[in-house]
Amino acid sequence: DADVTQTPRNRITKTGKRIMLECSQTKGHDRMYWYRQDPGLGLRLIYYSFDVKDINKGEISDGYSVSRQAQAKFSLSLESAIPNQTALYFCATSRGTTDTGELFFGEGSRLTVL
Amino acid sequence: GQNIDQPTEMTATEGAIVQINCTYQTSGFNGLFWYQQHAGEAPTFLSYNVLDGLEEKGRFSSFLSRSKGYSYLLLKELQMKDSASYLCAVMDSNYQLIWGAGTKLIIKP
């Protein structure tokens, strides 16, 4: 089983619908992240959390919200999806240190908004 | 603004050597990362450089020059399974990762 699990893996929805992407991890890491990946662009950080009580906006948080339900769970919500939110979304975790900051990624959730 | 530049696509031959370059302009520097991403899969960590010089790890090596804002990933004895995108990322002064768009490496027999 994957250490970082994302659900759903694929989702097609319509404009205006509310969507939740879920992430759970068994690595025991405190830090969790949500990124989106678009063709021709680098990974862009949406939100990140360094522990259950800590939530921070990333580079492109508008139109998104998150919830850190437990150390192991971090969910991303699109309250009212729009077509330009069509992308591949990755959840990632890291240890609570800054020595290397290596990220461990989930398998990705491909979201299509029609 | 902060910027990471790397070539969009490169082609190389199985068994050969390829060098993928990455140049960066960031607010501060706390390390440079290389990740490998096969099509449709998650990125996986390859290397981390924070000091100038060459870090070797098997067939892969990564070089850093902080004064030049430059790094490269060197892949030796290329195998078909090395066909993937290679992502360069820099950790800035706020310990945030700034990502390049990635270099798609195509390996031909």
- Chain B neighbors of A45, CB-CB under 8 A: 96-97
pLDDT score of A27 more than 70: yes
DSSP string, chain B: --EEE--SEEEEETTS-EEEEEEEE-SS-S-EEEEEE-TTS--EEEEEE-SSEEEEETTEEEEEETTTTEEEEEE-S--GGG-EEEEEEEE-TTS-EEE---EEEEEE-
Q: B42–A45: do the CB atoms touch at under 8 Å?
A: no
What is residue A99's predicted lDDT score, i.e. its pLDDT?
53
Q: A43–B99: do the CB atoms touch at under 8 Å?
A: yes
Confidence category of residue B94, pLDDT binned at 50, 70, 90: confident
What is residue A67's predicted lDDT score, i.e. its pLDDT?
97
Q: B96–A103: do the CB atoms touch at under 8 Å?
A: no
pLDDT score of B1 more than 80: no
Q: Is the CB of A96 inside 8 Å of chain B's CB atoms?
A: no
What is residue A83's predicted lDDT score, i.e. its pLDDT?
97
Name the residue among A40, A100, A106 with its Cβ closest to that of B42. Answer: A106
Question: Which residue out of B57, B64, B99, B103 would a mutagenesis test of the A interface target, given it has the greatest number of A Cβ atoms within 10 Å?
Answer: B99
Percent of chain B with pLDDT over 90: 91
**Residues B10-60 pLDDT 10s:** 999 999 999 999 999 999 999 999 999 999 899 999 999 999 999 999 999
**Residues A37-66 pLDDT 10s:** 998 888 999 999 999 999 999 999 999 999
pLDDT score of A97 more than 80: no
What is residue B9's predicted lDDT score, i.e. its pLDDT?
97
Confidence category of residue A113, pLDDT binned at 50, 70, 90: very high
**Residues A63-81 pLDDT 10s:** 999 999 999 999 999 999 9
Contact B87, B99 (CB under 8 A): yes
Mean pLDDT of A2-18: 95
Burial class (CB in 10 A: 0-12, 13-18, 19+), B93: exposed
**Mean pLDDT value across chain A:** 93
What is residue A60's predicted lDDT score, i.e. its pLDDT?
95
Q: B87–A42: do the CB atoms touch at under 8 Å?
A: yes
